[in-house]
A = this chain, B = another copy of it.
Amino acid sequence: MRTLSAVITSSTSFGHCFFHRFALRHSHKTLTSPLAPCFRRHFTPTMAAPEDSLRKALADKQSEVENQGNQVRSLKAGKAAKSEIDAAIEALNGLKLQKASIEKDLQATLSSADGSVNREVFRQAVSNTLERRLFYIKSFNIYGGVAGLYDYGPPGCAVKSNVLAFWRQHFVLEENMLEVDCPCVTPEVVLKASGHVDKFTDLMVKDEKTGTCYRADHLLKDFCNDKLQKDLNITAEKAKELKHVLAMLDDFSAEELGAKIKEYGIVSPDTKNPLSDPYPFNLMFQTSIGPSGLIPGYLRPETAQGIFVNFKDLYYYNGNKLPFAAAQIGQAFRNEISPRQGLLRVREFTLAEIEHFVDPEDKSHPKFSEVAELEFLMFPRELQMSGESAKAIRLDEAVAKGIVNNETLGYFIGRVYLFLTRLGIDKKRLRFRQHLANEMAHYAADCWDAEIESSYGWIECVGIADRSAYDLRAHSEKSGEALVAHEKFPEPREVEVLVISPVKKEIGLAFKGSQKNVVEALESMKEKEAFALKADLESKGEVDFYVCTLGKNVSIKKNMVKISKEKKKEHQRVFTPSVIEPSFGIGRIIYCLFEHSYYTRASKAGNEQLNVFAFPSTVAPIKCTVFPLVQNQKYEDIAKDISKSLTVAGISHKIDITGTSIGKRYARTDELGVPFAITVDTTSSVTIRERDSKDQIRVDVKEAASVVKEVTEGLRSWADVWATFPHHSSATADE
């Protein structure tokens, strides 16, 4: 078996992860688990207990129990005195109690290190609220649903469109990006060029009797985790081995995975039937375009290819100038083998992708200074390798020290940080993790994932990769269309170029039918090789020369080729641009945002816990509610007038004229994350309540809509409003 360090430094792996094509696909939680992701806000991290020594102590105690048991048996067999036997039994029971106590400690250690129980309780609380309030719904639920497909219900859909609107404002508008909108249905040739047809696979095993499919790595992972969690009798060595397997999981080949599954005797989890060997399953949904059934197509697994194939037009649209960025928001599809993790691993999802095209010789960014001083959690490759934790690093320092490959990549890391934190992601639970060498595709210059900590662990939500010229080159080659940029020189430049002139007459005489092969082989020499040949010919007059299209050496004489360097004038440089690609999994960001925004607080009576989503106004599904305090025509009319003003101001809101108590109405809207509530309790003025502080101010009826507009659109802070208007005591508002 390869060792971990060998894997980490190898760059030959060619799997794929969520955002980076053909880097590793699976989340690297297992690889980074020694670094103990803590779960700050809701759970106090427990210090990792000495699992190994407990396992050792347990094994020792087990031996003692066995020895003492033998002792008891032999005393009984030897018909020893009853008192002697009783004493031995008492000692045995004592040992058994000690063993049970160690088992309990080990159990506690395992579950506290894992934290999974607390996490699941928390996740369940969030999910219950999300599902009950229709943030999301299992798709086609009346027909039993389909794994990995979810609908956004009204509040979820509103959050999503707010997140996308903010994304457009933050990236497309502020950076003057060229946004495009391409179809989901994609002909095979495009995805053949990009490599997806051949390489976009996961390894699958089948139940040999029922045909049910499983992801091979999932089964192995579940086996190892289960063993580590629940089997208290495995040795410390075995535990180490299983942990090593978990760490290696993403790098296993089909054969290695198959061997492990056999070795551990893993069977189908549902039927206990034997499993097939692992084999690759392509994750793209396949279809056929047109009526003949002859044009194979796929649902795009990402939106990026639509941008690459349009490079030439977009470059022209940008005045044939670099750098520029194109962007696309749209659906992407991956036919997961067995979707897990709710909203995080789904079969259809919204991606927002940016392809920033840049001269590979100049990756500076004119606006880098605007993000240079940002400091946030970064997790460079070196820290991961040495087992340390992510640490706060200033962005300019990271670029200057070469931790981040270049300024443009750094700029986007900074912009992504601002985007996520402004959305409401907790910056203490956000880190930028650099890909290890074995995670990156061989052509990538550098890759960073924005990872957000959730109850499922650290989740990659944005990938930011410098993919060099790979994608444009792939499409150039396949389509025959030159996807290149030009740099016109202000003055023509004199350059030295290699000139190889085979003397066809001499070559023809010597090699007859093979003349063409020999000429081509000579012409395709690189400079170093050519001048070595030239030197050899000058010293020896004749040398052996390998012609690959003939598969053999031929003998080249001095009179057969002229090799020299000549000066030439060049007017422009033609090159394939590099691309820097920030790719956003919108659904994942939204799910993490739900978790980070959720908290509970006691009701006023103290008899129940109320749910709150602390969404910033930008993403809140509804910005404001309007309630008449009591059912009363006058108050209702005022509420309706305020509602009209809010509509004109473009503020999404809800009016609630049910007779429910105001406290209950507040609780209902807190649960939807509505930041402000207007309560009509007089005919001249109303109160405005802020969700998290529960503070209330009193505002003139006519001003109510405009105050809410100002605070929701960020033109004014709540603190400012709080300082301006008279306060209202909540006691009177029955909360």
Q: From residue 129 to 186 of chain A, which have CB atoms closer than 8 A to chain B? A: 134, 137, 139-143, 146-147, 149-154, 156-158, 160-161, 165, 168-169, 173-174, 176, 178-186
Can you list 30 contacts pairing A with B, beta carbon distance less than 8 Å? Answer: A137-B313, A140-B190, A140-B309, A141-B309, A142-B479, A142-B481, A143-B187, A146-B185, A146-B295, A151-B181, A151-B182, A151-B183, A151-B306, A151-B310, A153-B180, A153-B317, A154-B317, A154-B326, A157-B180, A183-B348, A184-B184, A184-B331, A184-B333, A184-B348, A185-B285, A185-B333, A213-B290, A213-B291, A286-B287, A299-B299
Q: In this assembly, does A654 line the interface, its C-beta being within 8 Å of a C-beta of chain B?
A: yes
- Per the bound structure, the CA–CA distance linking A147 and B157 in Å amounts to 32
Q: A142-B312, A143-B187 are in contact. List 6 more A-B contacts (CB 8 A).
A: A146-B295, A154-B178, A161-B168, A183-B347, A291-B335, A299-B299
Q: In this assembly, does A212 line the interface, its C-beta being within 8 Å of a C-beta of chain B?
A: yes
List B contacts of A314 (CB < 8 A). Answer: 134, 153-154
Asked whether, in the complex, the Cβ of B182 is within 8 Å of the Cβ of A154, the reply is no
Q: In this assembly, does A409 line the interface, its C-beta being within 8 Å of a C-beta of chain B?
A: no
Q: In this assembly, does A288 line the interface, its C-beta being within 8 Å of a C-beta of chain B?
A: yes
Q: In this assembly, does A647 line the interface, its C-beta being within 8 Å of a C-beta of chain B?
A: yes
* Chain B residue, CB-CB nearest to A481: B142
Q: From residue 455 to 479 of chain A, which have CB atoms closer than 8 A to chain B? A: 475, 478-479
* Chain B residue, CB-CB nearest to A339: B290
Nearest-neighbour CB distance to chain B for A210, whole angstroms, equals 10
Nearest-neighbour CB distance to chain B for A201, whole angstroms, equals 11
Q: Mark contacts of A293-324 with chain B using CB atoms, 8 A cut-off: 1 yes-contact digit, 0 otherwise.
A: 00101010000001001101110010100000
Asked whether, in the complex, the Cβ of A292 is within 8 Å of the Cβ of B180, the reply is no
List B contacts of A288 (CB < 8 A). Answer: 285-286
Nearest-neighbour CB distance to chain B for A729, whole angstroms, equals 30
Interface residues on A, range: 35 or more
Asked whether, in the complex, the Cβ of B149 is within 8 Å of the Cβ of A183, the reply is yes
8 Å CB contact of A140 from B187, B287, B317: B187
Q: In this assembly, does A122 line the interface, its C-beta being within 8 Å of a C-beta of chain B?
A: no
* Chain B residue, CB-CB nearest to A174: B647
Nearest-neighbour CB distance to chain B for A315, whole angstroms, equals 11
- Per the bound structure, the CA–CA distance linking A146 and B212 in Å amounts to 36
List B contacts of A161 (CB < 8 A). Answer: 168, 179
Q: In this assembly, does A189 line the interface, its C-beta being within 8 Å of a C-beta of chain B?
A: yes
Asked whether, in the complex, the Cβ of B213 is within 8 Å of the Cβ of A313, the reply is no
Given A137-B313, A158-B179, are A185 and B479 neighbors across the interface (CB < 8 Å)?
Answer: no
Asked whether, in the complex, the Cβ of B139 is within 8 Å of the Cβ of A183, the reply is yes
Asked whether, in the complex, the Cβ of B180 is within 8 Å of the Cβ of A149, the reply is no
Nearest-neighbour CB distance to chain B for A379, whole angstroms, equals 32
Given A154-B317, A331-B331, A647-B174, are A139 and B211 neighbors across the interface (CB < 8 Å)?
Answer: no
Copies of this chain, tallied across the complex: 2
- Per the bound structure, the CA–CA distance linking A147 and B153 in Å amounts to 34
Q: In this assembly, does A652 line the interface, its C-beta being within 8 Å of a C-beta of chain B?
A: yes
8 Å CB contact of A281 from B165, B187, B291, B306: B291
Q: From residue 562 to 608 of chain A, which have CB atoms closer than 8 A to chain B? A: none
Given A187-B146, A292-B213, A310-B151, are A319 and B182 neighbors across the interface (CB < 8 Å)?
Answer: no
Q: In this assembly, does A92 line the interface, its C-beta being within 8 Å of a C-beta of chain B?
A: no
List B contacts of A139 (CB < 8 A). Answer: 182-183, 306
Q: In this assembly, does A402 line the interface, its C-beta being within 8 Å of a C-beta of chain B?
A: no
Q: From residue 53 to 70 of chain A, which have CB atoms closer than 8 A to chain B? A: none
List B contacts of A180 (CB < 8 A). Answer: 137, 151-154, 157
- Per the bound structure, the CA–CA distance linking A200 and B159 in Å amounts to 34
- Per the bound structure, the CA–CA distance linking A481 and B650 in Å amounts to 38
Asked whether, in the complex, the Cβ of A181 is within 8 Å of the Cβ of B204, the reply is no
List B contacts of A289 (CB < 8 A). Answer: 146, 285, 335, 347
Q: In this assembly, does A369 line the interface, its C-beta being within 8 Å of a C-beta of chain B?
A: no
CB-based closest 3 A-B pairs: A152-B181, A213-B291, A142-B479
List B contacts of A285 (CB < 8 A). Answer: 185, 287-289
Asked whether, in the complex, the Cβ of A181 is within 8 Å of the Cβ of B168, the reply is no
Q: In this assembly, does A413 line the interface, its C-beta being within 8 Å of a C-beta of chain B?
A: no
Asked whether, in the complex, the Cβ of A317 is within 8 Å of the Cβ of B134, the reply is yes
Q: In this assembly, does A239 line the interface, its C-beta being within 8 Å of a C-beta of chain B?
A: no
List B contacts of A347 (CB < 8 A). Answer: 183, 185, 289
Q: In this assembly, does A658 line the interface, its C-beta being within 8 Å of a C-beta of chain B?
A: yes
Asked whether, in the complex, the Cβ of A154 is within 8 Å of the Cβ of B179, the reply is yes
Given A152-B180, A153-B313, A154-B178, are A291 and B186 neighbors across the interface (CB < 8 Å)?
Answer: no
List B contacts of A352 (CB < 8 A). Answer: none
